[in-house]
Amino acid sequence: MTELHQAPVSLLHGVGEERAKALAGMGIESIADLLEYFPSRYEDYRVRDLTEVKDGERVTLAGTVYGEPSVRFYGKGKSRISVKLVMDRVVVTAVWFNQSFVKNRLAPGKEVLLTGKWDKHKLQITVSEMTEADSERAAKRGELAPVYPLRGDVTHAILRKLIMQALRQYGKEIAEILPADIVERYRLMPRAQAIEAIHFPADAENGRQARRRIMFEELFLFQLKIQTLRRINRQQTEGTALNIPMEEVRQFVSSLPFPLTEAQKRVVKEILDDMRAPHSMNRLLQGDVGSGKTVVAAIALLAAVKAGYQGALMVPTEILAEQHLQSLTSLLSPHGVQVALLSGSLTAKRRREVIGALQMGLVDVVVGTHALIQEDVFFSRLGLVITDEQHRFGVEQRRILRNKGLTPDVLFMTATPIPRTLAITAFGDMDVSTIDQMPAGRKPIETTWKKHEQFPAVLEQMRAELRRGRQAYVICPLIEESEKLDVQNAIDVHAQLTQVFPEFGVGLMHGRLPAKEKDAVMQAFLAGEYAVLVSTTVVEVGVNVPNATYMVIYDAERFGLAQLHQLRGRVGRGSEQSFCVLIADPKSEIGKERMRVMCETTDGFELSQRDLELRGPGDFFGTKQSGLPEFKVADLMSDYKALEVARQETARLVAERSFWQEERFHWLRQYLRREGVLDGTVFD
CB of 264 to ligand ADP, least distance (A): 6
Residue number closest to Mg ion, CB atom: 542
Q: 147 has which bridge partners?
A: 41
Cα atoms in the Cβ-side hemisphere of radius 13 Å centred on 473: 35
**Least distance in Å: CB of 321 to Mg ion?**
12
Residues that bind ligand ADP (CB under 6 A): 258, 260-261, 264, 287, 289-295, 415, 439, 544, 573
Shortest reach from residue 569's CB to ligand ADP, in Å: 6
The contacts of residue 22 (CB under 8 Å, 6+ apart) are: 151, 152, 153, 154
Helix (H, G, I), strand (E, B) or coil at 92: strand
Give the rounded distance of the alpha carbon of 81 from its chain centre: 48
Angle, alpha carbons 313-315-316 (nearest 5°):
165
d(CA 556, CA 594): 10
Can you tell me the distance from the alpha carbon of 355 to that of 350, in angstroms, rounded to the nearest whole number? 9
Q: Is 669 helix (H, G, I), strand (E, B) or coil?
A: helix
> Under DSSP, is residue 218 helix (H, G, I), strand (E, B) or coil?
helix
Indicate the residue among 256 and 590 with the shorter CB distance to ligand ADP.
256
Q: Minimum distance from CB of 543 to Mg ion (Å)?
A: 9
Nearer Cβ to ligand ADP, position 297 or 355? 297
Interacting residues of 78 by C-beta distance below 8 A, sequence separation 6+ = 97, 98
Type of residue found at 610: R
Q: Report, in angstroms and rounded to the nearest whole number, the Rg of the chain calculated over CA atoms.
A: 32
Report the DSSP beta bridge partners of residue 66: 84
What residues are paired with 79 via a beta bridge? 73
Asked if 583 and 476 touch (Cβ cutoff 8 Å), the reply is no
Dihedral sign of CA atoms 350, 354, 357, 362 in order: positive
H-helix or E-strand spanning residue 60: strand 58-74
Binding site for Mg ion (CB under 5 A): 294, 542
- Start-to-end CA distance of the chain, whole Å, equals 26
- Looking at residue 564, its amino acid is L
- Amino acid at the residue 9: V
Are 173 and 5 a contacting pair, CB within 8 Å?
no
Integer Cα distance of 570 and 580 in angstroms: 10
Closest CA to 335 of 398, 280, 255: 255
Q: Which does 260 bind (CB under 5 to 8 A by kind): Mg ion, ligand ADP, none?
A: ligand ADP
> From the list Mg ion, ligand ADP, none, which binds 421 (C-beta under 5 to 8 Å, kind-based)?
none
Residue 602: left if φ>0, alpha if ψ -120 to 50, beta else—which one? alpha
Beta carbons of 474 and 498 less than 8 angstroms apart = no
- Distance between CA atoms of residues 9 and 97, nearest Å: 38
Binding partner at 617 among ligand ADP, Mg ion, none, C-beta below 5 to 8 Å by kind = none
400/523 Cα distance (integer angstroms): 35
Residue number, nearest CB to ligand ADP:
292
Nearer to Mg ion, 69 or 542 (CB): 542
Cβ 443 to ligand ADP, closest distance in Å? 13
The span from the CA of 431 to the CA of 657, in Å, is 22
Measured from the CB atom, the residue of 230 and 293 that comes closer to ligand ADP is 293
Kindly tell me which of 292 and 477 has the beta carbon lying closer to ligand ADP.
292
Which stretches of 459-530 are assigned E, i.e. beta strand? Answer: 471-475, 506-509
